[in-house]
Chains A and B, each alone.
Chain A
Amino acid sequence: MGKNNVEIKEKRPLGPRFKRFFKDFKNQWELQSMIIPGLIFMIIFSYIPMYGLLIAFKQYTALDTFSTAPWVGLKNFQIIMTDKFFWEAMVNTVAISLMKLAIGFIAPIILAIMIYELHDGPIKRFMQTISYLPHFLSWIVLGGMLITWFSTTGLLNQTLMAVGLMDNPQNYLLDAGKYWWIATLSDIWKEVGWGTILYLAVMSKIDPTYYEAAKIDGASRLKQIWHITIPSMKYIINLNLILAVSGIFGSNFDQTLVLMNTQNQEKAEVLSTYVYRIGMTQGDFSYATAVGLGMSIVSLILLVGAHKVTKRLNEGQSVL
């Protein structure tokens, strides 16, 4: 018997390891029975759609099934190159995202520092509470509100006319030229307070003796912020920057669906709503999938790229 075992081990070195694996597996069947539903879920709801991305290389219409649709290679991606509407949506997506990145990334840092500099007490808590609130409004609700504020009899027109900055009311959402600003500023209004939470949490861990030492050395408040507060947040700022950069091509979907109308569409359409329009409204599944796939690949490249850049800036320390 013993000799036999040794022989098997030499011929198929994996055999006993597999056996042990299955034995362990069986011994912990209770644990496995808890994780396998999660595995099945991921296979069905994440990995089957990833496999479904192959239709980007097919000509899939409502008449075909997944397997009978003919392969067309890169044809859909070639169409993208000359698709005027795609590039319009691309320009809008990048422009709006970069505006959100430029303003919306800095704003929560500044707001967090300002809140941090307040005395602890009810006023500080009240301001924090108020600043988080808009995050919990859905884009549908906020969209409805924006339509009201921007309408001819709405808050903005009234305010501007009351202070004499304007004579005739206008509906801002019908003005395509203003859309990028509306999208950017409304997003910042919604998320700036929420964005402070992590920064405030990190700042609360700064050792107060740093500030005391700086005060003795005669550093002004602004100098203290610049030399103590901001450097302490380096890690979290980097992390947020990576995530923000990789998100440039994503999202904006619900915001755009609510705020877009026939008057501002040329400036409002973004890639995700374009995919929706091509795929769900016009039924061109293959082309829409190709656009979507292109979007996710570029996002992934941006994520990896941003990670590499910040890693270099941090002398080789990874933040992810």
Chain B
Amino acid sequence: MAGKVVKGDLDSRIFNFINMSLLLIFTFIIIIPIWNVLVSSFSSGRSLAEGGFVFWPQEFSMENYRAVFRDETIWQAFFISVAKTVIGAGTHVLFCAMVAYAYSKQNLRGRKLYSALGIITLFFSGGMIPTYLLIKSLGLLNSFWVYIIPALFSFFDVIILMNFFRNVPKSLEDSAKIDGAGDWRIFWSIYLPLSKPALATIALFNGVGQWNDFITTKLYVTDQALYPLQMKIYEIIVQSQTNTMQNIGGSVVIETTARGVQLATIVITTLPIILIYPLLQRHFISGMMLGAVKE
């Protein structure tokens, strides 16, 4: 791809100019709304109500953030979010890797059956209500483990890891077998260390999923002590929406105060994602290729 397009004739230069202009507009359309949220979160309630700024706060203020942190439950929510992300992603990737190791062996007895059962789960599921009834009968409602256990396994991730494991040189395994190592030993001391890039990719994606997930909470958790940050934002949104309804044509002060808190919480919740974003970006292109293009 490098150097495909060199300075060419007039036609080519016009094309480049239009292309670049459109892409610049596109980039602005992505950046400005995000920047606007960041700026608004540092604005006072009064300037939020008046509007009139886009790029820089008219009246710089930390009042929204102070209001967020005055609520002690925000720290608890932060803790729950971190715990479910770290524990969830860690256990998910180890569990899937274990299954993928066995599944990568062609001589595995019953492989066809395992394969068929796995593929069906990719295309069909019981859906919301039967799954809810199952979670309920397992006693996982209002338990921290509802974030972890049902999310342990994904056949899709197993396939990705299996493809990766198949590229591990067979000779390493053979010599370990001669030394008397069993499968568990080979998995743990040869395959896992050699597959760090693939494991990191899966763990990062799963971690982002855990961090961003609020459906699990919405469906299975009513205990506020177990709410993650995403659910906190959802609550604030619902709350401020109701206020907006009640205030149609009336005072906008309540609305904007709630909005300030909402914006500050959004920024706090998104910050960790932005911080690990460079790391994510290094991994996700290879990760997408692992999963989607079989050649």
**A interface, CB within 8 angstroms of B:** 21, 24-25, 28, 30-35, 37-39, 41-42, 44-53, 55, 66, 111, 114-120, 126-127, 129-134, 136-141, 143-145, 147-149, 151-155, 157-159, 171, 174, 189, 193, 197-198, 201-204, 206, 208, 211, 215, 220-222, 236, 239, 253-254, 257-258, 261-263, 272, 275-276, 279-280, 285, 288-289, 292-293, 295-296, 300, 303
Which residues of A are found within 8 Å of B8, using beta-carbon distances? 215
In Å, the complex CA distance between A42 and B219 comes to 20
State which of B99, B101, B129, B214 has its C-beta within 8 Å of the C-beta of A140: B214
Chain A, Cβ-Cβ closest to B276 = A136
Given A37-B95, A66-B133, A153-B50, 15 other A-B residues pairs in contact with their CB atoms under 8 A: A25-B110, A34-B187, A120-B1, A127-B23, A134-B30, A138-B213, A138-B269, A141-B233, A147-B240, A155-B33, A174-B248, A201-B285, A201-B288, A221-B12, A288-B129
Chain A, Cβ-Cβ closest to B11 = A220
Is the CB–CB distance between B30 and A138 below 8 Å?
Answer: no
Chain B interface main SS type: helix
In Å, the complex CA distance between A216 and B240 comes to 62
With A31-B183, A153-B49: A147-B153 Cβ-Cβ less than 8 Å: no
> Within residues 243 to 277 of chain B, which ones have a CB less than 8 A from any CB in chain A?
244-245, 248, 252, 255-256, 259, 262-263, 265-266, 269-270, 273, 277
Is the CB–CB distance between B26 and A111 below 8 Å?
Answer: yes
Is the CB–CB distance between B1 and A32 below 8 Å?
Answer: no
Is the CB–CB distance between B126 and A114 below 8 Å?
Answer: no
With A53-B130, A155-B33: A136-B208 Cβ-Cβ less than 8 Å: yes
B147 within 8 Å of A (CB atoms)? no
> Within residues 22 to 55 of chain B, which ones have a CB less than 8 A from any CB in chain A?
22-23, 26-27, 29-34, 36-37, 40, 48-52, 54
Chain B, Cβ-Cβ closest to A279 = B129
Is the CB–CB distance between B262 and A275 below 8 Å?
Answer: no
B143 within 8 Å of A (CB atoms)? no
Which residues of A are found within 8 Å of B178, using beta-carbon distances? none
In Å, the complex CA distance between A53 and B124 comes to 11
State which of A133, A143, A254, A285 has its C-beta within 8 Å of the C-beta of B133: A285
B82 within 8 Å of A (CB atoms)? no
B78 within 8 Å of A (CB atoms)? no
State which of B32, B49, B125 has its C-beta within 8 Å of the C-beta of A155: B32
Which residues of B are found within 8 Å of A295, using beta-carbon distances? 127
With A158-B51, A193-B30: A137-B109 Cβ-Cβ less than 8 Å: no
Is the CB–CB distance between A152 and B252 below 8 Å?
Answer: yes
State which of B27, B108, B150, B270 has its C-beta within 8 Å of the C-beta of A35: B108
Is the CB–CB distance between B54 and A155 below 8 Å?
Answer: yes
In Å, the complex CA distance between A151 and B258 comes to 13
Is the CB–CB distance between B288 and A198 below 8 Å?
Answer: yes
> Within residues 84 to 123 of chain B, which ones have a CB less than 8 A from any CB in chain A?
95, 98-99, 101-103, 105, 107-110, 114, 117-118, 120-121, 123
With A31-B102, A42-B117, A141-B269: A258-B130 Cβ-Cβ less than 8 Å: no
Is the CB–CB distance between A45 and B150 below 8 Å?
Answer: yes
Q: What 1/0 flags go to B147-179 for Cβ under 8 Å of A?
A: 000101101001000000000000000000000
B221 within 8 Å of A (CB atoms)? no
In Å, the complex CA distance between A145 and B95 comes to 36
**B interface, CB within 8 angstroms of A:** 1-5, 8, 11-12, 15-16, 19-20, 22-23, 26-27, 29-34, 36-37, 40, 48-52, 54, 95, 98-99, 101-103, 105, 107-110, 114, 117-118, 120-121, 123-134, 138, 150, 152-153, 155, 158, 182-184, 187, 208, 211-215, 218-219, 230, 233-234, 236-237, 240-241, 244-245, 248, 252, 255-256, 259, 262-263, 265-266, 269-270, 273, 277, 280-281, 284-285, 288-289, 292-293
Closest Cβ of chain B to A62, distance in Å, is 11
State which of B2, B52, B288 has its C-beta within 8 Å of the C-beta of A158: B52
Subset of 25 A-B contacts with CB under 8 Å: A34-B101, A34-B183, A35-B108, A45-B134, A53-B130, A115-B23, A117-B5, A117-B16, A118-B20, A129-B281, A133-B277, A134-B30, A138-B212, A138-B214, A147-B237, A151-B255, A151-B259, A152-B51, A154-B51, A198-B292, A198-B293, A201-B288, A253-B215, A258-B234, A293-B127
Which residues of A are found within 8 Å of B101, using beta-carbon distances? 34
State which of B4, B109, B127, B138 has its C-beta within 8 Å of the C-beta of A275: B127
Which residues of A are found within 8 Å of B4, using beta-carbon distances? 208, 211
Which residues of B are found within 8 Å of A153, using beta-carbon distances? 48-51, 252, 256
State which of A24, A33, A53, A279 has its C-beta within 8 Å of the C-beta of B126: A53
Is the CB–CB distance between B125 and A49 below 8 Å?
Answer: yes
Chain A, Cβ-Cβ closest to B213 = A138
Closest Cβ of chain A to B114, distance in Å, is 6
In Å, the complex CA distance between A300 and B124 comes to 8
Which residues of A are found within 8 Å of B132, using beta-carbon distances? 279-280
Which residues of A are found within 8 Å of B126, using beta-carbon distances? 46, 48-53
With A137-B270, A138-B214, A289-B130: A148-B263 Cβ-Cβ less than 8 Å: yes
Closest Cβ of chain B to A152, distance in Å, is 7
Which residues of A are found within 8 Å of B26, using beta-carbon distances? 111, 127, 131
Which residues of A are found within 8 Å of B16, using beta-carbon distances? 117
In Å, the complex CA distance between A47 and B103 comes to 20
Closest Cβ of chain B to A294, distance in Å, is 10
Which residues of B are found within 8 Å of A157, using beta-carbon distances? 51
In Å, the complex CA distance between A263 and B248 comes to 11
Which residues of B are found within 8 Å of A46, using beta-carbon distances? 120-121, 125-126
Which residues of B are found within 8 Å of A253, using beta-carbon distances? 215
State which of B1, B50, B134, B262 has its C-beta within 8 Å of the C-beta of A116: B1
